[in-house]
């Protein structure tokens, strides 16, 4: 199991997000630099102590860590405890009910499925959700269940 924070909340849910970036955003830069840029947005512009997400998935399916899994994230109001935030790069201008393929790549779909399976091997995941399941937002720019990620 993964436990978060001093209260040791067990992680039981994954919540998907998008970065709301254009497909070509920072293309050619390594993913670590893109993660560093998102971290700057969250720390300098929003005043958070770290990037809000635990994992970031690039357009080519590369996965990089964000905030440590054992720390409570900052990605969905009132649903940060016991959840991990996974952010897909892309999704600029997306709608909540777009098809996954409209805004994201096949490599990202494969990477999401792999990451979900890998985390399930380490903690008891009961649910995979999208930000738009909890807020009136487009994020992550598709419906989790119709995209085949929901459980």
C-alpha to C-alpha distance for 21 and 65, rounded to whole angstroms: 18
**Cβ atoms within 10 Å, residue 123:** 18
**What are the start-end ranges of the H helices in the chain?**
31-40, 100-103, 106-120
Q: Which is nearer to Zn ion, 3 or 25 (CB)?
A: 25
Q: Is 88 exposed, middle or buried (0-12, 13-18, 19+ CB in 10 A)?
A: buried
Q: Which is nearer to Zn ion, 34 or 131 (CB)?
A: 131
Least distance between Zn ion and beta carbon 94 (Å): 11
Least distance between Zn ion and beta carbon 75 (Å): 6
C-alpha to C-alpha distance for 26 and 127, rounded to whole angstroms: 32
Contact footprint for Zn ion (CB under 5 A): 17, 131, 139
Least distance between Zn ion and beta carbon 146 (Å): 18
Q: Which is nearer to Zn ion, 42 or 131 (CB)?
A: 131
Residues classed as catalytic = 17, 53, 131, 137, 139
């Amino acid at each position: 199991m993964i436990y978060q924070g001093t209260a040791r909340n067990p992680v039981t849910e994954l919540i998907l997000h998008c970065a709301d970036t254009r497909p070509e955003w920072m293309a050619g830069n390594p993913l670590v630099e893109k993660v560093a840029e998102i971290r700057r947005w969250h720390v300098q512009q929003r005043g958070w102590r770290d990037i809000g997400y635990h994992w970031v998935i690039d357009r080519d399916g590369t996965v990089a860590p964000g905030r440590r899994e054992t720390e409570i994230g900052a990605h969905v109001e009132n649903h940060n405890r016991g959840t991990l935030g996974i952010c897909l790069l892309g999704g600029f201008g997306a709608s909540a009910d777009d098809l996954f393929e409209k805004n994201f790549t096949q490599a990202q779909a494969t990477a999401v499925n792999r990451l979900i399976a890998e985390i399930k091997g380490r903690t008891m995941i009961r649910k995979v959700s999208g930000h738009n399941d909890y807020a009136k937002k487009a994020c992550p720019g598709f419906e989790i269940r119709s995209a085949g990620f929901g459980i």
